[in-house]
Amino acid sequence: MNNQEYSAYCYSQLVQVFTNTHKGQPDDELKYVPKDCCKLGSYLAFLTGPMPQN
């Protein structure tokens, strides 16, 4: 999965949470998925980014 695919997945999860909540069907487990996607994305960028120079 590349960066664009991961961003699209995170976006789709966020839309799903908002859509379900708007319909009156909030999901307590699903609501944490977009937040976790953002965290993981920042961790991956940190791990795969360029190494700092001394």
The pLDDT of residue 36? 80
What pTM value is reported for the model?
A: 0.62
H-assigned helices in 2-53: 3-22, 33-48
pLDDT of the residue at 6: 75
Written as six digits, the tokens of 7 are 């961003």
Residue-level pLDDT at 48:
60
Residues 17 and 23: their CA atoms lie apart, in Å, by: 10
* pLDDT tens profile 7-48: 788 888 888 888 888 898 877 777 777 778 777 777 766 556
pLDDT at site 27: 78
